[in-house]
Structure 1
Amino acid sequence: MSIKAFAAKLFAKHIYNKTQKWAQNPIETQQKVFNELIQKAKETQFGKDHNFDKINSFEEYQKNVPIRDYEQLRSYVDEVVKGKENILWPGKPLYFAKTSGTTSGAKYIPLTAASMPFHIQAARNAILSYIHETGKADFVDGKMIFLQGSPILEEKNGVKLGRLSGIVAHYVPAYLQKNRMPSWETNCIEDWETKVDAIVEETIQEDMAVISGIPSWVQMYFEKLKAKANQPVGEIFKNFNLFIYGGVNYEPYRAKFENLIGRKVDAIELFPASEGFFAYQDSQKEKGMLLLLNSGIFYEFVKADEFFNENPKRYTIGEVELGINYVLIISTNAGLWAYNIGDTIQFTSLKPYRVIVSGRIKHYISAFGEHVIGKEVEAALQEAMEGTNVRVNEFTVAPQINPESGLPYHEWFIEFENEPSNLDEFALKIDNAMRKQNVYYDDLISGNVLRKLVISKVKTNGFQEYMKSIGKLGGQNKLPRLSNERKIADLLRIE
């Protein structure tokens, strides 16, 4: 074992012990975070407008600060973007993470001197948790690749601006710099396909041990590697044994990845966003990711099926239950207050608090009252694939409300790597799995309101072509798993 690997194990134990202290005291930890946030933001414009000087409890906070999304908070954010100080958080932010909103156009999410370290620490601690649990640390001597956006930053009224992954690239610790790939020059390439080709050229002869990125885009990298070397990725990189991912559920991609790699590798799931780093997988044995309760973020949770009520109940960490679909609401040391990030989560454990991402509150199908969420379609597809050699590259689901004939149905657009021998039987397996999970969907099928789902095959690389056509190929961009309308469906090139 190298000195570096030995040191990593020692550091991993230290971080594990620190993590246990707050994880075993969740309610006290969140109370402390809440108090610090309110205290530090009292003199900001937002704090004055919302009576922070009189807020001493969660109940008072909820009375004074309504839930908002970006559009509803935009009047404050616009003032920050203009260069004004002490609007949402003391002083000015260090960065704006620029994201593309579906309804808001470009969104500018502030990152402050208080919030930025937690983005870096969380990613580091995820790896250290893995080292502590498994005892595996030799990978720290190998090369690591992080498929991410360009680190080139612009400036807006004295504040640097860029994609979150590009901003984070500036914070890679010195002890990882020699191991980290791709090169700075390659990382700065804007066109995603050109960038992936350059990464293949740079890495194909290297000893890659850790590979990280959104699964759909790492898949593209693996496909190009395999085509160039004419052998599985696991043969090209014999010491590659750890895949770190976030952004989307890995399970629909797992069979395809294992085929591309040629073997199984360990994986660590992360839950980062421009608005904060919320959770990471702290165990290879337990389901879900550890919710980070000490990272400058105060969490509230609203039951997804009550979210669009006039005054839905807002739950704090001590009030949540297992298996319920919650909309995640955050207040942060970057100046986001009772902010709806759009993600829905479910708790898999309450000791400690672990979560899975179940979908997006705006990404659902309920054209007929069925309330289908992302987690359900992913689980149904996974169940249908079990015990088969079917492999799926990508998929999305939309309702077909006005078919040319017969009853309406859910249309599944699937790009297969390996097709099922009988597409109708495969569709029936998915449909049965959906009916087991979602009682509303089952009732609609039983009551002849809907007919069983229909699979429409998408040609090879059809989803990549779609993402490219809308300017969202690569980086942190993700294909929605499901939509309540047919905007995506009508643009896909179907065979």
Structure 2
Amino acid sequence: MKGVVFACNSLWVLSCYPSYLRFLRGCEDLKKTQTSILLRIIKRNRDTEIGRLFGFEKINSPEDYRKKVPLTSYKFYAPYIEKICRGEKQVLTREKVLLLEPTGGSTAPSKLIPYTPSLHREFLSGISPWIYTLYTKRPGLLAGKSYWAITSLSGYEKRCRVPVGFREDTSYLGNAGKFFISPTLAVPSSTILSRNLEEALYLTAFYLLREENLVLISVWSPSFLLLLLERIKKYREKLLSELRKFSPHRARWVEKCLDRERYHLIWKKLSLISCWTQGWASRFLPELKRVFPGVEIQGKGLIATEGFVTFPWRDGYVLSVNSHFFEFLKNGESYFAWELREGEKYSVIITTGGGLYRYMLGDVVEVTGFYKGVPMLEFVEKEMVCDMVGEKLNAFHVEKSIKEALDKFSISSSFYFLAPDEDKGKLFYTLFIETDNIPQGFVDFLERKLSENYHYRYARKLGQLAPLRVFLIEKGGMERYIQRKVKSGKKLGDIKPMVLEKEKGWRETFQGKFLKE
């Protein structure tokens, strides 16, 4: 079996080599590479509805494109995606839309992103060079099995003539990747088809404990891996009982490690964990390093449902030059990838083969250096989005949800906002509101409205986020809010109260108390 695993991993890495070479060639002349990608997308889609609207047939350069096509957000695409849902063709792309992939939205609870064959190839243009370097620089990974976290089926409810959602995350790897990786998976993809989420977590824990040849773990949020360890504690005896049926020897070793709380010894060959390490995710790294001492933790690049922006490269994250056409926004001005300056922060704009044109991704990055003229980019934050564990709560949806809750329960308040919070190691959101009382049922209603964002709902189901709480501010809420902002360095005239704050620790700022649950 070990020979099969080694062969499959090796063939998978070998299949990624051409994309790796294309990446290196693309870095030799960034402007030429990016211009070629843009003109190919424009030419292919000039006879679509969107192509006729923007006059694609008259665009011959990146400069033409920047002048004639406005910056866009999902709100602009919503009516066009409705047409795609109804089965209309050649709306955003000439290619057939294979499926619509749900993700958290900035102006709505969730949004649907068109996924085409071209977009699939664009993702592989970033994934394949990363996989090639990941394994060739760590040849020990070739001999072992891996755990690639599979996202639960979204349960997105929408009548649509186009399929909604991938059935598993490995679909991004393409047919060849899926074929080669299947025999190397420590946890079968079929776990996603379990009857409920808790059963899926239990099965995942069981398969992981069973596999002693685990060398690599790939998850999105590090909190998810810590959550799996909590499930192992919770179902310890049941898991050990099942494990004894499979291998008494393995069960004894796992039990010994659990008794000593030495999880890293359960998988003695584990050498790398791939997960988010930037932004909010960084707070989980100390615990992850404590639990898995000596295991390398590699940060993931900037990857969104809409597009593939960066991947790990040397000591940073390099722009995936062959994936899409990139622009970067700063102070209202857009810049091409070859115009960026080190140390500056920009907001990412993408044009993709999936039908998004000058689309504002909402991710802020900082240029940390260059590789052969290609910018190395560090993720800084999401614009108007709070994302502790992958819940992607956005300000527009939060404001709409709170207003609906206040109206429904006839609550009058001129000062309120939602903020991330933490207590005894548990993460959750707190609504800070200046009012005398909150009627029964308000919290549950607001929780349901926030859960319309399925990323938030999923994080709640997993237990990554604890239930929503409400903090009743007695008086002087706005004054104390402003005082805190001024102390943090904000100019008085620049302070604008936000309905969604990204900072924690607000309960110490106000006089008041938590609503009794």
Task: Name the TM-score, length of structure 2 as normaliser.
Answer: 0.67
**How far does the alpha carbon of each residue in 1:278-307 deviate from its partner, in whole angstroms, 9 at most, with x for none?**
211022xx1x31111112x1111111xx2x
Name the counterpart of 2:426: 461
Aligned match of 1:243 in 257, 273, 280? Answer: 273
**CA distance, structure 2, for counterparts of residue 476 and residue 114 of structure 1:** 33
User: Residue in 2 aligned with 1:23?
Assistant: 27
Q: CA deviation at 1:165?
A: 5.2
Question: Which aligned pairs between 1:26-37 and structure 2 lie closer than 5 A?
Answer: 26-37=30-41
CA contact (8 A) 1:150 1:190 kept: no
**More moved, 188-197 vs 332-341:** 188-197
**Higher relative contact order (CA closer than 8 Å, sequence separation 6+):** 2
Q: Secondary structure at the match of 2:327?
A: strand
Match of 2:262 among 219, 229, 232: 232
Q: Look up the match of 2:133.
A: 129
Q: Which amino acid aligns with 1:159?
A: V
Residues 147-156 or 77-86, more deviating: 147-156
Quick check: which one's helix share is greater?
A: 2
Q: In the TM superposition, what are the counterparts of 1:127-206 in structure 2 within 5 Å?
A: 127-132=131-136, 134=137, 136-150=138-152, 157-162=160-165, 166=169, 167-168=171-172, 171=175, 172-189=177-194, 191-206=196-211
**Is residue 2:283 matched to residue 1:252?**
yes
Report the CA distance between 1:350 and its aligned residue: 2.5
Asked whether the equivalents of residues 6 and 137 of structure 1 are also in contact (C-alpha less than 8 Å), the reply is: no
SS at match of 1:209: strand
Partner of 1:323: 343
Q: In the alignment, which residue of structure 2 is the partner of 1:281?
A: 312
Q: Secondary structure at the match of 1:359?
A: strand
| Counterpart position of 2:318 | 290
Query: Structure 1 residues 330 and 411, CA, compared in 2 at 3 Å: closer, same or farther?
Result: closer
8 Å contact from structure 2 (residues 273, 296) kept in 1: yes
8 Å CA contact 1:8, 1:137 repeated in 2: no
- State how far apart, in whole Å, the 1-side matches of 2:130 and 2:146 are: 15
TM-score normalised by length of structure 1? 0.70
Match of residue 84 from structure 1 = 88
Shift in Å, 1:139: 1.7
Aligned residues of 1:192 and 1:475 also touching (Cα < 8 A): yes
Q: Could you tell me which of 38, 41, 44 is aligned with 1:40? A: 44
Structure 1 residue 330, shift from structure 2 partner? 0.8
Q: CA deviation at 1:474?
A: 7.2
Does the CA contact (< 8 Å) of 2:16 and 2:128 recur in 1?
Answer: no
Deviation per CA, 1:94-133: give whole Å up to 9, x if none: 110012325313311001011113324533431211233x
Change (3 A) 1:11 1:223: same
Q: Which residue of 2 is the match for residue 343 of structure 1? A: 363
Task: Name the amino acid aligned to 1:277.
Answer: F
Where structure 1 has 5 or more consecutive residues not aligned to the other structure, the ranges are 307-311, 365-373, 379-391, 399-407, 416-457
Distance 2:188 2:430 in 1: 27
Give 1:360's aligned residue: 382
The aligned amino acid for 1:216 is S
In percent, how many aligned pairs have the same letter? 20
Equivalent residues of 2:99, 2:116 under 8 A apart: yes
- 5+ residue gaps, structure 2, are 237-257, 396-414, 432-446, 452-456, 466-496, 508-512
Partner of 2:98: 94
Name the counterpart of 2:475. none
Match of 2:327 in 1: 300
Question: Against the structure 1 CA distance between its residues 319 and 170, is the aligned structure 2 distance closer, same or farther, given a 3 Å change threshold?
Answer: closer
Larger radius of gyration: 2
1:485 to 462, 486, 499: 499
- Against the structure 1 CA distance between its residues 216 and 6, is the aligned structure 2 distance closer, same or farther, given a 3 Å change threshold? closer
Cα distance change of structure 1 residues 148 and 332 upon mapping to structure 2, 3 Å threshold: same
Please state how far the C-alpha of 1:487 moved relative to its aligned partner: 7.6
